[in-house]
Amino acid sequence: MQKYSKNKIWFLGRGFEEYILMFDLDISNLSNCRILDCNAGSSSFTTHMNQKGFDVIAADICYGKDPEEMEKISEKDFFTLMNAHKNLQDKVEWVFFKNHKDMVNYRIKVYHDFLEHYKKVKKEFYVESKLPKLPFLDDSFHLVLSSHLLFLYDDRLDYDFHFNSINEMLRVSSKEVRIYPLVSLRSHYKSKFVGQLINDLSSEYQVKVQKVNYHFRQGAYEMLCIQKNPKHEDKCRLVSRDIIKVEGK
């Protein structure tokens, strides 16, 4: 089995229901929205959203690979992480998941759903891209989501990478960028970059830290919302709400 490495950025994905909570999404307001899931990994958000008729594209550094190789990477990273996770019980709260077994079963379904979709529609929905650059035109999306890369891995990705990646997400978004979580991997506290980023972005954008209803990693109860002033009004409404009906959970 692959050894757990403290320097690796893992190719693991959260599920559709987790995304709804992590980003405080109200999908009834997203029908006219084009969404980008940045550094999406083996998440099933794009899979489920497209099956429900929403317009979502996923981007990740790994998406150039063919489906067979992607399956191998997904499985290797999944089993290594789930094994390592047994020793991290003090870092998580059993709220979204009942227990370790519940989490493992849920995450198996997530990456299987992702792989099935990736095999069928890789070219259309899964775009290879390496932050801090994105291969999309300005204002291509209404909403850009990014989870479990920025802030979390602040011990191996420096401030410039964070600043440039967020500015690139803002370039391709006409409305808003949401980032979750704000904690770094080795603590329950906000990443050292959060304060400086809010400072550096606030002169040009509306930036706020917002509580979310997703509870798993201790301390990871907030997302960062960065809003642009829209150049023109369109039908997309990105409204959050406090109580979200989560399908399937």
Ligand X SMILES: C[S@@+](CC[C@H](N)C(=O)[O-])C[C@H]1O[C@@H](n2cnc3c(N)ncnc32)[C@H](O)[C@@H]1O
If the CB atoms of residues 129 and 173 are measured against ligand X, the closer one turns out to be: 129
Residue among 11 and 205 whose Cβ is closer to ligand X: 11
Q: Minimum CB separation from ligand X for residue 206, in Å?
A: 24
* Cα 107 from Cα 43, distance rounded (Å): 9
Q: Which is nearer to ligand X, 21 or 62 (CB)?
A: 62
Axis-axis angle for helices 159-172, 194-201 (nearest 10)? 40
- What is the SS3 assignment for 215? coil
> Closer CB to ligand X, residue 79 or residue 237?
79
Closer residue to ligand X in complex, CB, 131/177:
131
74-85 core/surface letters (b: 16 or more CB in 10 A; e: else): beebbebbeeeb
Q: How far is the CB of 61 from ligand X (least distance, A)?
A: 4
| 126, containing H or E segment | strand 126-128
The tokens for 58 are 């996923």
Q: Answer yes or no: are the C-beta atoms of 6 and 186 closer than 8 Å.
A: no
Nearest distance from C-beta of residue 58 to ligand X, angstroms: 9
Cβ proximity to ligand X: between 159 and 237 the closer is 159
What minimum distance in Å lies between the beta carbon of 12 and ligand X? Answer: 5
Instruction: Check: CB of residue 227 under 8 Å from CB of residue 205.
Output: yes
CA–centroid distance for 131 within its chain: 14
Q: Which is nearer to ligand X, 36 or 207 (CB)?
A: 36
d(CA 236, CA 22) in angstroms, rounded, equals 20
**Residues binding ligand X (CB under 6 A):** 9-14, 39-41, 43, 60-62, 129-131, 147-149
Q: How far is the CB of 82 from ligand X (least distance, A)?
A: 13
Taking the complex as a whole, the smallest distance from the CB of residue 18 to ligand X amounts, in Å, to 7
Which residue lies nearest ligand X, judged by its C-beta? 41
Q: How far is the CB of 71 from ligand X (least distance, A)?
A: 14
Residue for token digits 């399937």?
Answer: 248
Find out whether 106 and 232 touch, Cβ atoms under 8 Å. no
CB atoms near residue 245 (< 10 Å): 10
